[in-house]
Structure 1
């Protein structure tokens, strides 16, 4: 019923992207190109598992992707249940079909897609040495971000506290919301002491203070932390409705952070949001180092949810060989400009 081709690409970061798991200089992605032979219309989606993090980061990923694309092309529909273990593949197919249906990059009709409203985003401070992080923080504050997220866990903890103190010397919580992301860098033993020290800086939240999979320990930290804990990596690989409920009811976080490529595609992320809302748990959405193809899809979808707090949607602008989309960061918001000419996606895929 459809024709679907898979196009692998390697993207290159403008500057090394440091995390607690190492430094990324390149990013492997696969684009899925869906064609409706009856109309000639096409839709493009992005499949981008993160190495050593995504539950579907598998040695035979491309073969699995090709198989699901063949099955989807033949059946004419996405098999959501079969794709639960493969969130990045599900996300790529979901968004390719959304693009096919819409006929342009305005995947859903919202004030964002019409260029009438931006989506507030956080300014992200990547890990680096003290001087690099200090310079990046200064730049984000100069640009007027009202929410700054600092990745911690890569340099000396006392140096990281100095960076947070620098922000707070210039901007109280009423002017800048400050989030930190530990990416699981603390141990259950040292986390309580480090959280007490971090609390001095009136933080909005901390993401994933200890590594994922320690539900009992994480529940204790969430219950005793002097400021809110948000789960991110903890949600990876929790793909069924029953397991999602069990995780939320066991750990009881204040927030969850959703990356559709990691957390079940758009369908699975919406499940997380519904379950969290039922339990008075807050949420926000972020990208997972996708190019502008994936970033646009996440932003367009996020806008339909009418988010209540700053989102993490600026990372698609990190690559030297990104495709140019009508997405722009202005102040502390991501904007979509529908009046701009759309890029030639098919020419990009043929390169």
Structure 2
């Protein structure tokens, strides 16, 4: 059987993170941990909605996680179907499950995809809101990093 638990964690930002919805100094996330009772291996996923930007009902995330995930012993098969039904209104929980499960299946080595070589995935360069000077410095840094797009 697969058992699950979660650990709340507060990220304390070194610099304020400005978004279109305001400035964040901290961010609440949860680490979802799946454990296989046969092997004792664990898979970890991150539940990390952004207040004001994510569609998740953030005040109810802990209750949904506790009630639907941690109180259930999951079979090894058919998990994705069950998750799709339970977590449509909580995409951040669904994402955590969808990353914790392959991590567990791949031996609990924090390797979601079992590939023979490691090659970074190109991502967009994120620009946090701030003063003109702060944002320009971030743009210059991201351009030097050859970001394909700036957001």
TM-score (norm 1): 0.39
Note the residue ranges of structure 1 that are not aligned, 5 or more in a row. Answer: 151-351
In the aligned structure 1, how far is the partner of 2:142 from the partner of 2:48?
Answer: 27
TM-score (norm 2): 0.84
Give the aligned partner of residue 19 of structure 1: 19
User: Per-residue deviation at 1:31?
Assistant: 0.8
Higher relative contact order (CA 8 A, sep 6+): 2
Larger Rg: 1
Give the aligned partner of residue 122 of structure 2: 120
Question: Do the aligned partners of residues 32 and 144 (structure 1) sit closer, same or farther apart at CA in structure 2, a change above 3 Å counting?
Answer: closer
User: Per-residue deviation at 1:122?
Assistant: 2.6
Give the aligned partner of residue 87 of structure 1: 91
Query: Is the partner of 2:126 in helix, strand or coil?
Result: strand
Of Structure 1 and Structure 2, which has the larger fraction of its residues in helix? 1
RMSD (Å) for aligned C-alpha atoms: 2.0
In the aligned structure 2, how far is the partner of 1:11 from the partner of 1:126?
Answer: 16
Q: Describe the superposition over 1:81-120 as per-residue Cα deviations: whole angstroms up to 9, x where unpaired.
A: 2221111111111211111100122221346xx22x3322
In the aligned structure 2, how far is the partner of 1:127 from the partner of 1:149?
Answer: 12
Question: Do the aligned partners of residues 52 and 123 (structure 1) sit closer, same or farther apart at CA in structure 2, a change above 3 Å counting?
Answer: closer
Runs of 4+ in structure 1 off by over 3 angstroms are none
In the aligned structure 2, how far is the partner of 1:39 from the partner of 1:65?
Answer: 23
User: Per-residue deviation at 1:124?
Assistant: 2.1
Of Structure 1 and Structure 2, which has the larger fraction of its residues in strand? 2
Query: Is the partner of 2:67 in helix, strand or coil?
Result: helix
Question: Do the aligned partners of residues 72 and 91 (structure 1) sit closer, same or farther apart at CA in structure 2, a change above 3 Å counting?
Answer: farther
- Number of corresponding residues: 146
User: Per-residue deviation at 1:128?
Assistant: 0.9
